[in-house]
Structures are given as structure tokens and as C-alpha cells.
Amino acid sequence: MTAESRVISVNGPVVRAFGTRNMAMRELVRVGDLGLLGEIVRMEGEEALVQMYEDTQGLRVGEPVKGTGGPLSVLLGPGLAGSIIDGIGRPLSALLKEEGAFITRGVSVPQLDLSRSWEIRAEVSAGDVVTPGNLLATVRESPLLDHRILVPFDVSGEVEYIVPSGFAKGSDIVARVRGPMGRDQEIRMTASWPVRMPRPYAERLLPDEPLVTGQRVIDGLFPIAKGGVAAIPGGFGTGKTVTQHQLAKWSDASVVVYIGCGERGNEMTQVLEEFPSLEDPRTGRPLMERTILIANTSNMPVAAREASIYTGITIAEYYRDMGYDVALMADSTSRWAEALREISGRLEEIPAEEGFPAYLPTRLAEFYERAGRVVTIGGEHGSISIIGAVSPPGGDFTEPVTRHTKRFIRCFWALDRPLANARHFPAISWTESYSEYAGEVEPWFEAHVDASWGRLRDEARAILAEDEKIRQIIRLVGEDVLPNDQRLVDLTASLLRNGYLQQGAFGPDSFCPPEKGFAILNLILTFHRTAEKLVTAGCPLSLIRNMGELVELIHAREIPAERTDATADLGRRIGETLSRIGSERIAPEGRG
Amino acid sequence: MARTEYVGVDTIAGPFLMLGDIRGVGYDELVEITSADGIPRQGKVVLVDEGATLVQVFSGTQGLTPSGTRIRFSGAPLEIAVAPSIIGRTFDGLGRPRDGCGPVLGGERRNVNGAPINPMARLYPRDFISTGISVMDTLTTLIRGQKLPIFSGNGLPHNRLAVQIATQSHLAGAENFAVVFAGIGIRHDDAAFFTSRLQESGQGNNLVLFLNTADDPVIERIATPRLALTAAEYLAFDLGMHVLVILTDMTSYAEALRELSVARGEVPSRKGYPAYLYSDLASMYERAGVIRGGQGSVTQLPILTMPNDDITHPIPDLTGFITEGQIVLSRELDARGIYPPVDPLKSLSRLMKDGIGKGYTRDDHPGVSSQLFAAYSRTQDARALAGVVGEDEINETDTKYLAFGKAFEEHFIAQGIEENREIGQSLDMGWYLISMLPAAELTRVTMEELRAHVGGDAPK
């Protein structure tokens, strides 16, 4: 009466199955009468443990278990860009059409709409000899994105057939290649790839170009390189998600993969509503056209949350292989680690720190190492930058996920609770954060923005660091007892904090090109250098502090980026006022 | 359809019953248990295995005997009957009528666990709810469809605040507004306070109550908020009502969950809470929102008392990571007689940014709120300094901040328990307070707003 393979135990998201000898480790299985999706995670004799991607409510002992013959995979092809999928690759639009507003179980929907017709251009001709990674055809996925159909990694030989330029459907064969043994291999527009297997590349390159984010504190002080890895840790309410959204909106990547991993449903909806109406500052096209959203909200099954990270990085690698710069945001990697912990607990594995499994650091490393700038198999240059949010419990950065993450990333944007409480956003702490890429990308900024980029960065950081000490003294004894030069440092640091580091996520200041950021920084530091000379010569700080232009300086970020004349004019007026103060206060004494 | 009844259990341990090999039982199924004396109780299946079935009994296993206990599996998970007639009713923590008015007739049975809303089906919440409370409307704006918890402590007036929000936001919500109240392990006094206050303010006709009081079975508490949310979803998404769900006290809920987890011998995570506390809380908090093309909305106002006022305790910490902000009550403000004692710096409304300003509240709202936050934050520094060197020794700017802070707390935060302020009035007060500070300090408002507002007349 029972099926050949059957359920023998159900414990939340973990199911034990019997009679699974013919199935493979990590095989995707359909469990029960509803056909719920799960993945085999352990095999012992006749039994297998299955981690379930769908809720197991109502599942009974004796219900059938069927193998699907392959591991958890994602279908890659045109139609991904602009879409939103769940943690195991099912498009939410199809689920909405099938099932309505609430996500039900056991639904089978195609991962891509294969009947959709695409504009395609053949890039080779019959008779050409191709090797893995070669470009076969280009599909216009969106006006922003050319989707390149490449020769798969295990195919090479002579092109027998190539799709004619024009229109083709997602299910169509793009090319047929005759291999060395005379075997014909068909290449379709879409192909499946197992998510847990990194896609190969030819060679790794060192990152040397910045991922320009349009955020002053990041580009200016703690830049990330294309192909770099960064972490944003912060307690709740410190702005992880807003920062991630900002980066997804404004960074100069060709493709953005945004993974909402165990986070809020409304946040995904916000991206869905907002991105189509936002323009890419570089191309003027809607941002959604280059964005792929993966939504596994906190109330969706925990195992699918674990898988969503791999689904996301596989898609990112797919676009990297086409020679694109991809930015991947994972919000939040802590929820992913917690999913690992929860499943590990149900599997009754021995826990290491705080209940996390001992393999947590290994998994983190595997994930972050899939980032990088590479030469693809096809010889193109592509990159994946990963920006992972970390949600440490109680905002404590010494907890296992933050601590282990720090070992594998090179750029650390620490979100600071006091800054967030004062609504200083982005609340990226300038004392705790660091970027190992700063030196590597400095030549790029100096070549493309201004030759003094690095010098100004060092100057700003020195002032901010010195001010930390000064502010400690001020907190204890007040400002009045300090010498004028130290009070000037405090004044300049406050200009830097309020006029430069702080940046609204909404409105015109949301995206700040590096040129404009540099101009503001230059205004503030030029003021500082001039004022420093006056103060050294004995000019009272109160005169400088009460300059009307300082209010304008703090608001300089409101000047539109193209109005370089207005910025220059402000700089000129500050200089004039300072020299007037100088001549009134110092010159007479000099004569005397 | 009659279902098989089993007599006798193998093991009774804590809230659990272990039965031998029973086929055809589903995970999470509802179970009816009858003890030897004939009194029925309810439970649910928490583990099915070839050799054993584990049942968790909601009202505890006291008095059950291994041989005399009869068990009947329902074939379905815990459900609640929903119909328009649930409005005005009072249920216990397991959804049984508590008001003596008999069962809900003609209702449709719904699984209390709900299902996740597809993010594509959601509508991003943007509708401002006017609560009439300055500190909330201006600084931590409540949005229709939001989940905004109150982080409180024992003895703080969170119940009064919740009632004031429920009452005053009702006025703006007009006809189709309902309040669903889930009391989870609350004291009888608190339950009485809520019912009487909400009824006095004319909310009795659109109130649904689920009450699990402190002396009710602890394990029932796992079900109470889910029943309330299922009822709320029905009212919102089937009947098109705007529903405000008050869940109190989520700390009692989490403690019940811990008790159960420990009894099951699960590997504990922080402070003994199970590793799945986050997922479990999320399965409730995420049941708020607005559905595209629908009429109604579910807004959640969970209340939790922070153990030892510790905001890093796992319950408030995990809650804060799931909810769209938090309203934190301050013991210090409360001690100074300021009601509502909302600490604006620790409080936050994540959805506020998209529901205020031009076209929603007033153009200057984002600037004013940001400036008030910054100024109040700076006030704390000035106070710390004045505490060390004395108020006479601090400079002119800091003195102005002290004056600002005092006025802000005593006139802006503080207001009457029945005082209902318009948003415009609150913003004008905000400008008045801001203009107590030197212009150079006003870095969060634009130059344009500064010119338009500062120097204006002081509002009453």
C-alpha cells in the first residue's frame, strides 16, 4: 500500500524518508501527496533526511517521496532581469497568477516563461568553430541589457546550425554544435545550473576599479572595488536595508541581484514598486530592467531561505560569465546563518558556537569566495561584488556570524547605533569601518575624478580621527577650555559629518556622483586649511564660526551636481570672507 | 465523518503525550483528548514517526492517565470559524466563545497558521494614520498596514497608549474600522481595562477579543495571536475593513514557546529560547499589510515588555529585526510624569519615509522630523556636559539646546490622554521648537524651508 519510497517521520522542516537507495545526495525530491519540494541532505542506508522547501503541515507517515533526478537548480536565460523569484527560483508573478495573493504549497510553475519571444541576433555563422564561453547569439533582454547566449562549458566544435537573427522563443534551440566525436549538441536559449555548484572561470584578477555607489561615505572614505566583498553589520533600525537599497539603486553595476533573505515582505514590495520608476543615472532607463530580486521573506519556509543565497549567486555568476559587472546584495546573511542553525538543530548535529553548526565559517567562505573579478571561460572580464548585510543580535559585533564574516570580507561598513539614533544616515561609523580596497582603487579615482583624491581622503580621515579624541574631552569639560586649533578641528569635523558624510536616501541627494562628493570635500578641507592659518596667527575662532557661508557649506550637498559654478562660487566667497577676517584681525597686529 | 478514537497513551511528559504507531496522522494536526473523567482538551501533533506520534496538549496534561485517555485526530490543523458575526465577540485563547453567546454560526473555517503573502500581491503601505499623538505622528509615523511594536517595561503606560492609538486613529478611519485584540497571558485587570476603555470610546461594536489571561494554560498562548490574526485577515481581506491588531504581551508568548521547546528537549539558542524564535515571530508579524486591489488592511501594534528594560534581550531584539520599527517607552520620561513617555531617539518607523511629506502629510514633515531628531540627540550631549561642568559653564549653543530639550519634552512629547492633535499642529510646534536654536545648527532642513518657517509666529 505504501509507495516504494515513503515518509517515515516528520519534524517541522525535516522529513525522514525510507527506500531512497536510488536517489542521490542533494537530489531535489517531491514529498507527499501534495508534491512538496525538498532536498536530500543526509543518507543513511535505506533512509534519507530531507530538508523541506515548503511547509510540512498535514504531511503523514507513509506518503510517497519521489526523486526528480537532479539537484536543486535554477533555469538561466532571458527573462530573469526585471523579475522577482522565491528562494528556489520560482517566479512570484507565476505563483500570483496560479494561486492568488497567498503562497500555497506544492505548486509547480515554470521558472522562466519559455513561450515568450525575444529579439535575437546571431553572432556566429554555420561552419564557425566555437569553444566554451564563446558568444553565439545576443538576446535583447531589456534596452539596458544584452543577454549573451554562450557556448556551454562542456561543448565545443563546429557550428552546424545557428538561429537566424530576428525573433526566437525561450524554448528554441539557438545553435547546434558538432563536437569532436561527431556528436551533435543542441544549445538552447535557457539552461539549468545546480545552485550549489560555482560556475567555472578562467582566471581571477585583482580588483582595481571601484564600484561607484554614489554614496559619499562609501566612495569617499570606504570604497568597494568591482569584484570586492563588503559586509554591513548593524543592529535593527541602523539602516542596513536602506543602505542596501541605495547600493542596488545607484551602484554602477550592469546587473544587480538583490536577495531578500528572511526579511520583510513589504521591503520587497517597496523595491518592486520603486525600481521601475527610478532611472539609472547613467543610462536613463528604469532600474528594474537590470535588477533581479530574490524574495524569501521571514515567514516563508526556512530551508528555502538557506537556498536563496545560492540561487542568487548562481544567477550573478551567469551574468558575470557574459562579461558584466554584477553587484549582489544579500539582506541578511544572518538570517541565512540562522536557517543553517535551525536545520542543523533539527538534524540533531552537534552545535558549535551559540548553536550554529561547526561548518558555518566554511559555508560563509564558500559564499563570499564566489565573488571576484575574473577572466571568464570566454575570455571576457566580468565581476561579482557581494555586499552582505549582517544582523548581529543586540548589535553585538562579536557574535559568530559577524566575527566569521569579517574573516572573509575586505570592506567593513559598521553601522553605528548612536549615529542612527541621531538620524545621521547612512550611519556608517568612520571609526570602526575599513576598506582594504581604498589603496587599490585610488589610482582610478585620481585618474577619473581628481589627482588629489587620495590626499583629501587621508586629510578628512585624520580630522575625523582627531576629532574623536577632542569630542571625548569636550564631553568631559566642555568646549571653551580647548585651544582654538582643536576647536577648529571640531568645527571642521562637524562640517564633514553634517555636510559631507550625511546623505539622504530620498530626494535629489540620494545619488551623489564622485565628482560632486569630491567638490564638497574639497570645499570643506580648503576652508579648514585657510582657517587653520588664521587661527594659528591668533584669529579668534568665533569670527570664523559665525561666517554666514558656513551654513551654506553644510547645505552645499543640495546644489545640483551639474551646477559646478555654484559650488565654485561658494568656495570663492568662503575664501574671500576668510581673507577679510584675516586682514581685519591679523594684519593690524602684524603692522604693530 | 466519524474518525477513529484511540484509547491509551504510552508516555506523558510535561505538556506532551506519546502514542505508539498510528498511521494516517498528519504533522501539525489538531487533536481532541478526553481524560478518564470525560473533560475534553485540545492538542496538536508536533512529531510523526513510524514508531511514535507526539502530541502537545494545549491545556496541559494534568490528570491524564496512560490507560484512560482517549484521543481523536481531527484530520485538520487548528482552525477558527470566521463570519461577519465575530465582530463584537469575545473568545478565549483557543478561540472558544468566552462571552456565553454560543458558537459562531455559519462561519467558514480557516487554518490559523495562515499563509505567506506573495510580495508581488502586496501594496507598499503609504497611508498615514493620524493617531493624534505628536511624538508618533511627527517622529514615528504609523502607516496603515505597518507592524509597529511598543517596546515597554513593567509598570509603563503601554496599555493606555495602545488604547489612545486605537481610539484616536479610529476617528480618521471612519466606518469600516475594527480592532482585534489578543491578550496573551495578560492580567485580568489589563483585560478589563482594555475592554472597558475601548467600549467607552465607542469601539465595542467593532471589537474582537481573544483573551488568554495569566492564569489560563500557558501552552494555549501559542495559538492565541494566530487566532487573532486569522480573524483580522478575514475582516481585512474578505470584508475590506481596516483592522488594527493589538497583541499583548508578546513576551508571554515567547516564554510559552521557550517552555515548550525546553520540554521537547530542543537545542536552545540565546537565553534558552529556541533557534526558530525568529522564524516563529516572523510567521505572525509578517501577517500585516495591504493587498493590491483589496480594500482593507491589517496594521499590527504588538506590545512587549522588555525583561529588565533590556532592548538587546532576544524578544525585543528579534522583534525589532522583523517589525517595521518600534516605539520605545522610557522609564525616565515616565518618572518625570511625561505621558506618553516615548523615547524618540530609540523609536523608529521604517515606513514613515514614504508616507509623509508632499502629498501625504505636509511638505516640510521630513525636514522637521529629521531636525527634531538631530536636535534632541544633540540635547543629550549638552545635558551630559551640563551634568559634569554645571549648567552655568556651558556655552551659549548648549544652553539653547537645554532649553529646547525641556520644551520638547514638556510640550511636544507630553500630551493629554484624550488630547488629539492634528498633524499640522504638531509640525508647527516642531518649527517653533526648532527656531529656539541658532540657524547654523539647523542642518537637516533645507535652506528653502528655513527661510519659509523660521521666525514665524509661535503657535498656541
* Segments making up each domain of chain B, as ranges: 5-76, 80-354, 365-457
Residue A64 pLDDT level (bands cut at 50, 70, 90)? very high
Query: If one looks up domain B5-76 in CATH, what number appears?
Result: 2.40.10.170
For B92-120, write each residue's pLDDT tens digit. 999 999 888 888 888 899 999 999 999 99
pLDDT of residue B453: 82
Check A61 against B47: CB less than 8 A apart.
Answer: no
Higher pLDDT, B456 or B306: B306
Same fold, B5-76 and B80-354: no
Chain A residues whose beta carbon lies within 8 Å of the beta carbon of residue B115: 102-104
pLDDT of A276 over the 50 cut:
yes
Give the model's pLDDT for residue A592: 36
- Is the pLDDT reported for residue B457 higher than 70? no
Average pLDDT over residues B379-403: 90
The predicted structure's pLDDT at residue B174? 59
Show which of residues 97-116 on chain B sit within 8 Å of chain A, judged by CB atoms: 111, 113-116
Question: Whose CA is closest to A224, among A203, A241, A246, A239?
Answer: A246
Reported residue count of chain A is 592
Supply the pLDDT for residue B171.
56
Label residue B1 by pLDDT band (50, 70, 90): very low
pLDDT tens for B250-286 read: 999 999 999 888 888 888 888 889 888 999 999 999 9
Report yes or no: B239 and B119 within 8 Å, Cβ to Cβ: no
- For residues A404-420, give the mean pLDDT: 94
Residue numbers of B between 363 and 392 with CB closer than 8 Å to A = 366, 370, 373-374, 377-378, 381, 384-385, 388-389
Mean pLDDT of B20-40: 87
Cβ separation A266–B125 shorter than 8 A: yes
Residue A586: pLDDT band with limits 50, 70, 90:
low
A478 in Cβ contact with B401 (< 8 Å): no
* Residue contact B275–A270, C-beta within 8 A: no
Query: CB–CB of B47 and A10 under 8 A?
Result: yes
Q: Which of A264, A300, A527 to mutate to test the interface with B (most CBs of B within 10 A)?
A: A264
B340 φψ region: left (φ > 0), alpha (ψ -120 to 50), beta (else): beta
Contact residues, B window 146-175, toward A, CB-based 8 Å cutoff:
146
DSSP B143: B
Q: What residue type is B197 in one-letter code?
A: R
Listed in order, strand segments (DSSP E) in B58-160 are 70-73, 79-82, 90-92, 108-111, 122-123, 150-152
Q: Which of A5, A8, A236, A302 is the best substitution to test chain B (most B C-beta atoms within 10 A)?
A: A236
Rounded distance between C-alpha atoms, residue A413 and residue A14, angstroms: 36
Q: Using the beta-carbon criterion (under 8 Å), do A476 and B388 form an inter-chain contact?
A: yes
Measure B281 CA to nearest chain A CA, in Å. 9
Q: Which residues of chain A are within 8 Å of residue B289 when distances are taken between CB atoms?
A: 265-266
Residue A505 binned pLDDT confidence (cut-offs 50, 70, 90): confident
Q: Looking at residues B385-405, what average pLDDT do you find?
A: 90
Q: Is residue B373 predicted with pLDDT exceeding 90? A: yes
With an 8 Å Cβ cutoff, is B318 touching chain A? yes
Cβ atoms of A411 and A228 closer than 8 Å: yes
Q: What is the pLDDT of residues A109-142, one digit of tens each?
A: 899 999 999 999 999 999 999 999 999 999 999 8
**Cβ(A405)–Cβ(A360) under 8 Å?**
no
- Separation of alpha carbons B412 and B426, rounded Å: 8
SS3 category, A46:
coil
- Among the partner residues B124, B321, B394, nearest to A266 by beta-carbon distance: B124
- What per-residue string of b and e applies to B42-66 under the rule 16 or more CB within 10 Å gives b? bbbbbbbebeebbbbbbbebeebee
Q: What are A566's three cell numbers? A: 555654484
In this prediction, what percent of chain A has a pLDDT beyond 90? 74
pLDDT at B290: 94
What is the per-residue pLDDT for B204?
66
Q: How confident is the model at residue A164 (pLDDT cuts 50, 70, 90)?
A: very high
Which residues 217-246 of B are in CB contact (within 8 Å) with A?
237
Q: Are residues B282 and A298, on separate chains, in Cβ contact within 8 Å? A: yes
Pick from B142, B279, B368 the residue to mutate for testing the A interface (most A CBs within 10 Å): B279
Report the residue of chain A nearest B446, measured CA to CA: A555
Query: Could you tell me which of B136, B148, B219, B142 has the C-alpha nearest to residue B415?
Result: B136
pLDDT band at A506 (very low <50, low <70, confident <90, very high): confident
- Asked if residue B235 lies in contact with residue B243, where contact means CB atoms within 8 angstroms, the answer is yes
A96/B374 Cβ within 8 A: no
Residue bearing cell 564557425: A128
Write phi, then psi, for B93 (nearest 5 degrees): -65, -15
Distance CA A27, CA A49 (A): 11
Contact across the interface for B346 and A475, Cβ inside 8 Å: no
Tens digit of pLDDT for each residue in B60-90? 888 888 888 899 998 888 899 999 999 989 9
ipTM over 0.85: yes
pLDDT for B170 equals 66
Residue A378, all three cell numbers: 570566454
Check CB contact of B28 with chain A, cutoff 8 Å. Answer: yes
pLDDT at B295: 86
pLDDT confidence tier of residue B458, bands split at 50, 70 and 90? very low
Interface touch A273/B325, C-beta < 8 Å: no
Lowest mean pLDDT among A43-52, A380-389, B57-66, B334-343: B57-66
CA distance B167 to B161: 10
B124 and A391 within 8 Å at the Cβ level: the answer is no
Q: What would you report as the CA-atom Rg of chain A, rounded to the nearest whole angstrom?
A: 28
Q: What pLDDT was estimated at residue B253?
A: 96
Comparing CB atoms, the residue among A57, A61, A552 nearest residue B28 is A57
Element (H, E) at B431: helix B423-434
Measured between CA atoms, the residue of chain A closest to residue B385 is A475
d(C-alpha A160, C-alpha B168), whole Å: 74
Contact between chains at B27 and A299 (C-beta distance less than 8 A):
no
Q: Do A92 and B353 touch (CB under 8 A)?
A: no
Which of A60, A96, A273 lies nearest to residue B118, judging by beta carbons?
A96
Q: What residue of B is the nearest CA neighbor of A480?
A: B395
From the number of C-beta atoms within 10 Å of its C-beta (0-12, 13-18, 19+), residue A259 rates as buried
Quick check: A478 and B395 CB within 8 A?
yes
Q: Band of the pLDDT at B172, cuts 50, 70, 90? A: low
User: What is the phi-psi region of residue A423: left when phi exceeds 0, alpha when psi lies from -120 to 50, beta otherwise?
Assistant: left
Distance CA A347, CA A39 (A): 13
- pLDDT higher than threshold 90 for residue A2: no
A269 to B123: CB separation less than 8 angstroms, yes or no:
yes
A443 to chain B, closest Cα gap in Å: 33
pLDDT band at B456 (very low <50, low <70, confident <90, very high): very low
Alpha-carbon distance of A138 to A120, in angstroms, equals 6
Cβ atoms of B302 and B150 within 8 Å: the answer is yes
- Quick one: pLDDT at residue A587? 55
For residue A108, the model assigns a pLDDT of: 84
Statement: residue A589 has pLDDT above 70: no
Tell me the three state secondary structure of residue B409. helix
Left, alpha or beta for A290 (phi > 0: left; psi -120 to 50: alpha)? Answer: alpha
| The pLDDT value given to residue B281 | 95
Predicted pLDDT of residue A588: 54
What per-residue confidence (pLDDT) applies to B302? 96
The rounded distance, in Å, linking the Cα atoms of A73 and A585 is 74
**Does A590 score more than 50 pLDDT?**
no
Residue carrying C-alpha cell 540635547: B379
Residue A591, pLDDT > 60, answer: no
Taking CB atoms and an 8 Å cutoff, what residues of chain A touch B278?
A: 262, 298, 335, 338
Give percent above pLDDT 70 in chain A.
98
Among residues A205, A210, A229, A216, which one has the least CA distance to residue A443? A210
Element holding B181 (H helix, E strand)? strand B177-186
**How does the average pLDDT of chain B come out, rounded?**
89
Which chain A residues contact residue B324 at CB under 8 A?
Answer: 264, 266
Distance CA B132, CA A402 (A): 41
- In whole angstroms, what is the distance from residue A485 CA to residue A243 CA? 35
- pLDDT (tens digit, 9 = 90+) per residue, A544-563? 988 889 989 998 998 998 99
Whether B280 contacts chain A with CB within 8 A: no
Mean pLDDT of chain A: 92
pLDDT over 60 at B341, yes or no: yes
- Per the listing, cell 507598499 goes with B124
Q: Does residue B245 register a pLDDT over 90?
A: yes
Instruction: Say which of A61, A424, A555 has its CB closest to residue B23.
Output: A61
Strands of A163-207, DSSP E: 166-169, 173-178, 184-188, 191-194, 203-205
- CB contacts of A102 in chain B (<8 Å) are 114-118, 121
H or E stretch covering A375 = strand A372-375
Q: How far is A453 from chain B (nearest CA, A)?
A: 26
User: Rounded distance, CA A466 to CA A459, Å?
Assistant: 11
- What is the band of B460 on the pLDDT scale with cuts at 50, 70, 90? very low
Strands A229-233 and A411-412: parallel
A-to-B residue pairs, Cβ atoms closer than 8 angstroms: 228
Cis before B249? omega within 30: yes
Is the per-residue pLDDT at A434 higher than 60? yes
- The whole-angstrom separation of Cα A118 and Cα A131 is 25
Which grid coordinates belong to A69? 533526478
SS3 A331: strand
Residue B140 pLDDT class (50, 70, 90 cuts) = very high
Q: Topology of domain B80-354, per CATH?
A: Rossmann fold (3.40.50)
Strands in A135-142's sheet, in edge-to-edge order, are A145-150, A135-142, A117-122, A166-169
Cβ pair A217, A453 in contact under 8 A: no
Does the distance separating the beta carbons of A552 and B446 come in below 8 Å? Answer: no
